[in-house]
Amino acid sequence: MIRKCLLTVIMLSLLAAQGFAQGFIQIKGSDTLINLVQRLSEVYMEQNPETMIATTGGGSGVGIAALIADRIQIANASRPMKDKEKTAAKENGVMPYEIVVGIDGLSVIVHGDNPIGHLTVNQIGKIFRGEILNWNQVGGPDMPVSLYGRQANSGTFVFFQEHVLGKKDYSARMKRMNGNAQIVEGVLADKAGIGYVGVGYVYDDAGNVREGLKVLKVARDLDSEPVDPLNAENVKSGKYPITRALYQYVNGKPTGEVKDFIAFELGEGQKIVEEMSFYPVAGEYLEQNKKAGF
Amino acid sequence: MELKKNKLHQTPVWWRRLKEQVIEKFFLVHGMLAVLILMGIFSLLFIEGFPAFKALGLKSFFFSTKWNPTSFVQESYGILSILISTLMVTFGALLIAVPIGIATAAYIADVAPPRVREVIKPVIEVLAGIPSVVVGFLGIIVVGPLLSRLFGTSNGLNAINGSILLAVMALPTIISISEDAILSIPQEYKNASLALGANKWQTLIRVTIPSAMSGIIAAVMLGMGRAIGETMTVLMATGNAPAMPHSFLDSIRTMTATIAIELGETVQGGIHYRSLFVIGFILFLMTFFVNLISDLVLEKYQKVNR
């Protein structure tokens, strides 16, 4: 009798586990993407109640490491995968497929009282490498620059290092914050502060730029015109110098509910991308997504 | 009566002995468990970290101030600046917590009327239960802005901030153990001092506290162990800049924060992963010796008072 009961329980739990596993997508990675993907999955789950999606953060590096270890279905990343990571994935039998879900104008922010309105990419690089130490070296007031950045597990950290710092090291005096939101809070409280965040993080709930925060215009070099990342056209056309794609990586060509979810993100979901103040996929990235079957 | 006696005789002696032994071994295993876990942690840290030691050498860990394992230019694994940062916040915390802690303990044990004591003691115990994330949060939104206004710096994410928060977290440990030590001083000592004409304050400062000194030192060491190992609070409040700190107003990054930030993204078995275990190993040794010393001091003081 007892044995029979036990058997039934085991059978039932096995069944339940299977049913659970069938409609369950685990997403992990970029802290820049987390709010956006969470919103996307919420809307998707409303329409498809049989699918369960769990989204967590930790940073692009953490998400990619989890995909390499085959612990999750989708990795969010605000930077492309490094060659080192691709080899590690192959060694583990994981074939990463790359999908672009949105575009971000990586925004350089300063305190609202700072009179500086624009900088060149080169100047920003020098500031974050610790070669420019005082705001008066770029025409600002006499106060030491206070740097706010992300931690090494962040895709934004790595992207900024590659494209603005020229792959050189960040100043060791840069404060390593836990997320985009913390950088915004830090700069809001620091008159000498400068930081970088995804464009979606500079707005308040009403869709205005946070009070007391200034988003710098960035010029490619001294001869070109400074460009505003808050203007969608500048970012979509790539005129804004620190434009980047926001990625999702999956293991192998997506199938089943993972495929359905990504199709939703790239279709109807693009409106949500805009609502969350990022920019929809355009141009070359559309072609790239087509190759992955979308 | 007769029947009962018979029944007792029915359980054979060997069976009772076996039962006794099984029960004894059962408790022995549980007693050993903590020791086994400790040894397990020690050997895990050593085994995981040793290859990094072998590959990089002692020199690159202890004679370099540059910790930058993900650099595109030159990966470096110097732990000097994070080691010093850890020591800085720890001693900063003790500088704040020790005087306050001892004073509070002396007040509760020797001065406070029983009704006040009954209120203060549980409040301090509640203080010990506040999650470190909450303390760190207070560091960002309360202590940080306050410090930046006080010292005229542009921000308050620095070593002092971490020290203050760690002091708050170490206080309950320091207070409750110091208080026990002060309470255990025999009443005769105080009576003798009072009889010689010393007033209450003189008795407290010159007789009671010196007599309880070894207990108080043990309390401080335990508080120190707590401060060295604390992660979340310092991670949130000190800014995590890995530069070599020059003053308490610099943003710093501790050993615990380094492990917490970086372990998630490292490739398992890689050199970066293993060097984080080296940090963990050093951290373990530090807290181990601090606890060992406090244990030795405590033991000495218990002998003296026996």
Assess whether A63 and A90 both reside in one domain: yes
Cβ A234 vs Cβ A227: under 8 Å:
yes
Nearest chain B Cα to A87, which residue?
B267
Q: Is the pLDDT of residue B113 over 80?
A: yes
Q: Which of B80, B151, B154, B263 to mutate to test the interface with A (most CBs of A within 10 A)?
A: B154
Q: Is the pLDDT of residue A9 over 90?
A: no
Task: Judge whether A190 is closer than 8 Å to chain B, CB to CB.
Answer: yes
Q: Whose CA is closest to A152, among B68, B73, B238?
A: B68
Q: What is the pLDDT of residue A19?
A: 44
Ranges of beta strands (E only) in A88-201 are 96-105, 107-111, 118-120, 146-149, 175-176, 193-197
Cβ A175 vs Cβ B241: under 8 Å:
yes
Assess whether A186 and A260 both reside in one domain: no
Contact yes or no for A174 and B241 at CB 8 A:
yes
Count of structural domains within chain A: 2
A4 occurs within a structural domain = no
The full set of domain ranges for chain B reads 67-304
Pick from B2-16, B57-71, B108-122, B263-277 the range whose average pLDDT is largest: B108-122
Contact yes or no for B267 and A172 at CB 8 A:
no
Q: What is the pLDDT of residue A21?
A: 46
- pLDDT band of residue A22 (cuts 50, 70, 90) is low
- pLDDT band of residue B294 (cuts 50, 70, 90) is confident
Determine the length of chain A. Answer: 294
Q: What is the pLDDT of residue B9?
A: 61
Judging contacts by C-beta atoms under 8 Å, the chain A residues touching residue B152 are: none
Question: Distance, in angstroms, between A169 CA and closest chain B CA?
Answer: 6
Contact yes or no for B145 and A189 at CB 8 A:
yes
Nearest chain A Cα to B232, which residue?
A178
Domain residues for A218? Answer: 107-236
- B163 vs B131: CA distance, rounded Å: 17
A135 occurs within a structural domain = yes
Residue identified by tokens 């303990």 is: B105
Query: What is the complex's ipTM, to 2 decimals?
Result: 0.77
Considering only CB atoms, A176 lies closest to which of B140, B148, B261, namely B261
Q: Give the pLDDT confidence of B224-262 residue by residue, as tens digits.
A: 988 998 999 999 999 999 999 999 999 999 999 999 988
Assess whether A115 and A224 both reside in one domain: yes
Q: What is the pLDDT of residue A282?
A: 84
Question: Distance, in angstroms, between B126 CA and closest chain A CA?
Answer: 28
- A30 vs B189: CA distance, rounded Å: 64
Among the three residues A194, A212, A236, which one is the final residue of a domain in this structure? A236
Q: Is the pLDDT of residue A170 over 90?
A: yes
Mean pLDDT taken over chain A: 88
Task: Judge whether A185 is closer than 8 Å to chain B, CB to CB.
Answer: yes
- pLDDT band of residue B304 (cuts 50, 70, 90) is low
A6 occurs within a structural domain = no
Cβ A218 vs Cβ A121: under 8 Å:
yes
Q: Is the pLDDT of residue B3 over 80?
A: no
Calculate the CA A76 to chain-centre distance: 7
Question: Distance, in angstroms, between A210 CA and closest chain B CA?
Answer: 18
Calculate the CA B303 to chain-centre distance: 24
Mean pLDDT score, A113-132: 95
A200 occurs within a structural domain = yes
Assess whether A112 and A197 both reside in one domain: yes
Assess whether A71 and A19 both reside in one domain: yes
- B86 vs B25: CA distance, rounded Å: 42
- B71 vs B76: CA distance, rounded Å: 8
Q: What is the pLDDT of residue B6?
A: 55
- pLDDT band of residue A39 (cuts 50, 70, 90) is very high
Q: Is the pLDDT of residue A15 over 80?
A: no
List, in order, residues 6 or more apart from B221 with CB less than 8 Å away. B290, B291, B293, B294, B297
Q: What is the pLDDT of residue B81?
A: 92
Q: What is the pLDDT of residue A209?
A: 92
Q: Is the pLDDT of residue A16 over 60?
A: no
Tokens for B194? 């009072």
- A94 vs A218: CA distance, rounded Å: 38
List A103's β-bridge partners, or say none. Answer: A245, A279
Assess whether A129 and A201 both reside in one domain: yes
Judging contacts by C-beta atoms under 8 Å, the chain A residues touching residue B243 are: 171-173
For residue A144, what is the domain's CATH number? 3.40.190.10
**What is the dotted CATH code of the domain comprising B67-304?**
1.10.3720.10
Q: Is the pLDDT of residue B108 over 90?
A: yes
Q: With the CA atoms of A256, A261, A265 and A269 taken in that order, what torsion angle do they form, in degrees rounded to the nearest 10?
A: 130
Q: What is the pLDDT of residue A10?
A: 54
Instruction: Give backbone dihedrals phi and psi of B267, rounded to 5 degrees, phi first.
Output: -75, 125
Q: Is the pLDDT of residue A44 over 80?
A: yes
Q: What is the pLDDT of residue A292?
A: 76
Which residues of B fall below an 8 Å CB-CB distance to A? 66, 68-73, 81, 140, 144-145, 148, 154-155, 157, 235-236, 239-244, 250-251, 253, 261-262, 264-268
Q: Is the pLDDT of residue B143 over 70?
A: yes
- A126 vs B202: CA distance, rounded Å: 61
A162 occurs within a structural domain = yes
Among the three residues A214, A236, A258, which one is the final residue of a domain in this structure? A236
Q: Which of B155, B158, B258 to mutate to test the interface with A (most CBs of A within 10 A)?
A: B155
Q: What is the pLDDT of residue A18?
A: 46
Mean pLDDT score, B203-231: 90
Q: Is the pLDDT of residue B171 over 80?
A: yes
Nearest chain A Cα to B76, which residue?
A169
Question: Distance, in angstroms, between A70 CA and closest chain B CA?
Answer: 13
Q: What is the pLDDT of residue A293?
A: 77
Judging contacts by C-beta atoms under 8 Å, the chain B residues touching residue A64 are: 265
Mean pLDDT score, A221-245: 90
Q: What is the pLDDT of residue B267?
A: 75
